[in-house]
Amino acid sequence: MKTYDFNFQLGDIHNRRNHKLDRILNKRFKSTGNAPSSKAHWNAHSFGLENIELYKNLNAKEKDLLLKELSMDRIQEAYHIEKSGIAYGSKMTLLSETMDERVLYGSFTGDEARHFKLIEKYYDNSLNNDITDNCFLNFLSQMIEKAPKRSLVFMIQILLEGWGLDHYSSMANECQTQELKTDLKSILEDEVVHHGSGVILFEENELTKDERKIVMSSLASFFQMVQVGPISIMTRLESMGLELSRENRISALEQMNAYESTVYKLNVLKRLMKKSGAKGIIEELDHLGHLQAFSTEQMAACF
């Protein structure tokens, strides 16, 4: 039996570019180019900031800087997610068991390459590209590199790409930059197919004991990231030089409806799993308490 080393080096590979291919890639991806990177593509409402007293008390320059940083956080995350999508499609193409599967995943890889080039226009290349400090991106890269095929179909296509449909839809609808709004909607059209094929391919009862163990371990890690609420937004708010007490953090989380928005996200994920027929997985997650949002007090204690 042949084995493959799927070391995609997701955090480092973009540092090693072949500039000889620039001309070919620029011709291949005609719709891509350069777009302003240091721009607030979303407003305060999009980040749930408009009712937070701490945000209201910032001056206009500080508010603009915060929104630009939060916007770039979203772009940076999307940039690395689409880069990971290319790696996922490549791995699944090699692991395909039929010609139909190979064609399907080969087309996915092409889609993700296009998505990557679309998002790359808005990415600030001066940013630190080390993803090891980003819990979600590090989790995603580790899973793509190490998880077996059936586990990946569930985690990537059903859960994360389904989640991405909701997330990218909100990003597109609320985006203030028309070109980026158009690009996000274009990405969404492909992600519908990626997610839908995962629902068709996945059968919970086909998971081996080891595959199920990997799925449950991955889900536990992922759901904990969701349960803690909008920590990244709160961290950015604190980076404005504000020294927040526990009470300040709880108040800010309450003002941005952090608990309610987290409940919504968990329900979206539960619906995605239910649609795939993963009844046993849902029951186990519920039993372990992973489908319950943390209280604002618990969220405040996480950063």
Residue 60 has which token pair?
């206009």
State the average pLDDT over residues 260-271: 95
pLDDT greater than 60 at residue 31: no
| C-alpha–C-alpha distance, residues 156 and 202, integer Å | 11
**Coil, helix or strand for 179?**
helix
DSSP state of 106: H
Q: Which among 232, 270, 226, 234 has a CA at the least distance from the CA of 252?
A: 234
- Which comes out higher in pLDDT, residue 186 or 32? 186
Distance spanning both ends of the chain, measured CA to CA? 46
Share of the chain above pLDDT 70, in %: 87
Alpha helices in 36-146, H assignment, sequence order: 53-56, 60-95, 99-120, 135-146
* Higher-confidence position of 14 and 91: 91
Q: Measure the CA–CA gap between 70 and 56, rounded to whole angstroms.
A: 16
Per residue in 206-249, pLDDT tens?
Answer: 999 999 999 999 999 999 999 999 988 988 988 887 778 899 99
- Of 107-116, 133-142, 211-220, least confident by mean pLDDT is 133-142
Task: Report the Cα 63 to chain-centroid distance in Å.
Answer: 25
Q: Please write the tens of the pLDDT for every residue from 173-216.
A: 999 999 999 999 999 999 999 999 999 999 999 999 999 999 99
Distance, CA of 116 to CA of 106 (rounded, Å): 15
Structure-derived torsion over alpha carbons of residues 249, 40, 187, 89, reported in degrees to the nearest 10 = -60
pLDDT at 1: 43
Q: Cα–Cα distances in Å, from 242 out to 182, 186, 208, 248, 268?
A: 36, 38, 50, 10, 33
pLDDT of residue 5: 57
Q: What is the pLDDT of residue 293?
A: 95
More confident residue, 84 or 31: 84
Span 39-79, pLDDT tens digits: 799 999 999 999 999 999 999 999 999 999 999 999 999 99
The reported pLDDT for the residue numbered 133 is 76
**Chain mean position to CA 84:** 10
Per-domain residue ranges for the chain? 53-300
- Indicate the pLDDT class of residue 258, thresholds 50, 70 and 90: very high
pLDDT beyond 90 at 36: no
CB count in 10 Å sphere of residue 219: 22
What is the pLDDT at residue 261? 95
Q: Do the beta carbons of residue 201 and residue 157 sit within 8 Å?
A: yes
Angstrom distance (rounded) from CA 72 to CA 133 = 16
- pLDDT for residue 7 is more than 90: no
Is the domain covering 53-300 a CATH 3.40.50.300 domain?
no
Q: What pLDDT does residue 245 have?
A: 86
Angle at 81 between CA 241 and CA 93, to 5 degrees: 165
